[in-house]
């Protein structure tokens, strides 16, 4: 494992902790008078993955669902439920801090499965886009 991979893995694992997720919201575009505050987003499982083009982008540490386009009145829990109703984080019946090691490990296995699925889906979509482009070029050459 490279140093960069180690750092990324450690960062991802730290997102299990609400306090670490909260730290990720350095330049959140909404103020405390809104429903989608950094504290509420972190409590709902999100951390900031903002970019220059998407300053309000967040991602769930467990299901890896990414959301952006937040409105001041959006409720983070409700948005999470609407966009990823089967997220294991939403189904927890106790805080992570009070779970047994076995429960946390099972949850981590599910998180890794979700991460792998997200990576595979992205790779498949990129492949299909490439295939479509090649097919179009082949049609032009044949036509």
Tokens of 137: 């070029």
Q: What is the pTM of this model?
A: 0.80
Tens digit of pLDDT at every position of the chain (143 positions): 677 765 667 777 788 889 999 999 988 998 888 999 999 999 999 999 999 999 999 999 999 999 999 999 999 999 999 999 999 999 988 888 888 999 989 998 999 999 999 999 999 999 999 999 999 899 888 87
Scan for tokens 């499965």, then name that residue: 113
Is residue 60 within 8 A of residue 24, CB to CB? The reply is no
- pLDDT at residue 7, as a whole number: 64
Domains identified in the chain and CATH numbers: 3-142 (1.10.1170.10)
- pLDDT at residue 1, as a whole number: 67
- pLDDT at residue 142, as a whole number: 87
Q: What is the 3-state secondary structure (H, E, C) of 35-100?
A: CCCHHHHHHCCEEECCCCCCCCCEEECCCCCEECCCCCCCCHHHHHHHHCCCCHHHHCCCCHHHCC
In angstroms and rounded to an integer, the radius of gyration of the C-alpha atoms of the chain is 18
């Amino acid at each position: 494992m490279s140093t960069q991979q180690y750092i990324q893995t450690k960062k991802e694992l730290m997102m299990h902790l609400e306090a670490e997720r909260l730290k990720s919201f350095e330049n959140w575009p909404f103020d405390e008078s809104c429903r989608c505050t950094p504290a509420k987003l972190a409590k709902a499982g999100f951390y900031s993955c903002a970019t220059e083009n998407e300053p309000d982008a967040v991602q769930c540490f467990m299901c890896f669902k990414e959301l952006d386009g937040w409105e001041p009145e959006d409720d983070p829990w409700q948005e999470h439920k609407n966009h990823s109703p089967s997220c294991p984080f939403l189904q927890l019946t106790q805080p992570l801090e009070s779970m047994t090691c076995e429960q946390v490990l099972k949850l981590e296995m599910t998180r890794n499965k979700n991460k792998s699925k997200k990576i595979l889906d992205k790779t498949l979509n990129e492949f299909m886009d490439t295939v479509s482009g090649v097919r179009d070029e082949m049609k032009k050459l044949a036509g």
